[in-house]
Structure 1
Amino acid sequence: MLARSASKLEQSARRRTDRADRRTELAADRTIFAAERTYAAWVPTGLAALASGVGAKALLEDVVEPWLASATASMLTLFSALCFIAAVWRELDPGAPPPHPDIRRLPPWLLISVNGFLVLVSLAALVGIWVVRA
């Protein structure tokens, strides 16, 4: 009877350890998904800022002084480049590494290449804001 009780106690402890390990793995998965949601928020913010910068230049040029329209557009365009850089930085450095998640992270080369291209687009728009005259 004592051996049977000890066996049940060992099984119960093993199940609790397995459940705790599984909860830890699920928490690691949630951490990765949260980092991807953060990345997915930075990129549209950068695209909206880029579009706003280009639009501000076109809309404000006849309303305010040309230098003010260009400065406003430049700030929005620079903010877009910052958003694209922050997106990669936050995705590649989310903090403490999670313990052995079940899912894979996005490949760093993909993030860097896509966001690097978007930064180049932002810088090209910035050059266009100051060089191209309407």
Structure 2
Amino acid sequence: MQNRRYGMKDKEPDTTALALDRTVLANERTFQAWIRTGLSALAAGLGVAKFLQDSMPLWMLLAIAAVLIVLSIAAFLQASWRYTHLHLRIADLDVDATPLWLVRAISFLLAGCSFLALAGIFLAVFW
């Protein structure tokens, strides 16, 4: 019995196909790690803005929240860039991976949400 995808004949795996799968999975884990980092920075920025209002000067509060939210935007954009960088190198190979349009859509949607959160914080203070 032969498996076309892995070139298996009598349980002898094609090591090249397995290595490609590990590379794709590692790329997806890296993407997820960047997204987690961005979400953590966004949550920290919003938390600083919400819960430290009475214990810090307003300018310091806004500066810390803005830095954390801008870092979240950078993390989301970095996630897309890193995933795209490897995906384009292996796009012509026979390997299943998350579609590039989906990765970009998730990253840019989250970056846009972070930008709106940053704008919302400043509008709430200065409006």
Q: Which residue of 2 aligns with 1:31?
A: 23
Q: Which residue of 1 aligns with 2:32?
A: 40
TM-score, normalised by the number of residues in structure 2: 0.80
Q: What amino acid maps onto 1:60 in structure 2? A: L
Larger Rg: 1
Q: Which residue of 1 aligns with 2:50?
A: 58
Query: Aligned to 2:124, which of 120, 124, 132?
Result: 132
Q: Which runs of 4+ in 1 moved over 2 A?
A: 94-101
* RMSD over equivalenced CA pairs, Å: 2.2
Structure 2 unaligned segments of length 5 or more: list them. Answer: 1-11
TM-score, normalised by the number of residues in structure 1: 0.76
Q: SS of the residue aligned with 1:97?
A: helix
| Cα deviation digits, residues 53-93 of structure 1 (max 9, x gap) | 01101122211110100000001101111111111111111
What's the offset of the Cα at 1:96? 8.6
The percentage of aligned residue pairs carrying the same residue is 35
Structure 1 unaligned segments of length 5 or more: list them. Answer: 1-18
Q: Answer yes or no: is 1:100 the counterpart of 2:93.
A: yes
8 A Cα contact 1:92 1:108, kept in partner: yes
Q: Determine which structure has greater relative contact order: mean sequence separation of CA pairs < 8 Å that are 6+ residues apart, divided by chain length.
A: 1
Aligned length: 114
8 A Cα contact 1:25 1:100, kept in partner: no
Q: Answer yes or no: is 1:113 the counterpart of 2:105.
A: yes
What's the offset of the Cα at 1:33? 0.6
